Structures are given as structure tokens and as C-alpha cells.
Amino acid sequence: MERSDLHRNVGFIVHDVARLMRVAFDRRGKELGLTRSQWWVLTALYAKEGITQSELADFMDLEKATLGRLLDRLEEKAWVERRADPIDRRIKRVFLTETVQSLMRQLREIAADIRRDAVEGLTGEEQEHLFDLLQRVKGNLQSIDPVKASGTAGQSMAADD
């Protein structure tokens, strides 16, 4: 692939689209006094409330210590709370608090606005087709054999140069 063909490289495009969406969210989320990491944790908890800290760290692909510090800051703001698991008191489950619910509604509105902006000009059918294609790409990536993927990593990088 020629260096000038980055606009046709699926990895570059997907990464850049995700980056641009994060930047747009950061601009709009800054007014709410949130860092990107904080809104990311809150959004993950919104999707998986009551999850254990370890499961949340795995889900977010974060080191447990890094997530612990983020949760400490969010707990100081009274936006999250850690509760002992009813069966195993050593395990902490993480929940959103009532205090953060209005902020979560604002975050969801901002995210919905950004998603609408991102697909502006696409018909409903084109949007559905885009989502279907991205789901297929995601499925392809999830089904990659880790042994095969590690053995061909250098080869695929060379093929893209």
C-alpha cells in the first residue's frame, strides 16, 4: 500500500473516526467538568452497572491500579460507589449513584448528538448498511486465532507499507 493511500486503509480510517468522535465528545464534555477517562468509566458502568472492579478493568482494557485511581476520584465526587459483593465480601462491585444520574442523561444526549453528526448525510439505509459492515468487521477481528495472529503480525505490517 502506498503511503498516500491511508484514506483507503480500513484500520487508519476506523481509528481516525473513533479519534474524531472522542475529540468532539471531549469538547462537549469539558463543559460538564469531566475528563475523557472519567466519562469513559461512567459510560462503561452505565452499560455494565454492578460489575466487579476486576471485570470492569478487563472490559475497559485498563490496569486494575489505573481503574482503582479513577474510581477513587469518581467516588470523591459521589458519582460512583463500591459495594461489597453479597456473597464474597472481598469483591467490590461498582455502581453509579443517584448524584450522577442527571450528568449521565447529559452525557447520553451529547453522545447521541455526536453519533447523529457522524452519520449526517447518510440515508437510513446507508446507516444500517454501515453498521452491518462494521459488525462483520468486528466479528472477523474477534474470531482471529491468537496464535495465527501473532505469527503473521510482522507479515501484515510489511504488506501495508
Domain map (residue ranges) of the chain: 3-136
CATH no. of 3-136: 1.10.10.10
Provide the pLDDT confidence category of residue 157 given band limits of 50, 70 and 90: very low
> What pLDDT does 143 receive?
92
- Across 127-146, average pLDDT: 91
Q: For 87-120, b where at least 16 C-beta lie within 10 A, e where not — what string?
A: eeeeebbbebeeebeebbeebeebbeebeeeeee
Band (pLDDT 50/70/90 cuts) for residue 159 is: very low
For 3-34, how does the pLDDT look when each residue is reduced to its tens digit (9 = 90+)? 567 778 888 999 999 999 989 988 888 888 88
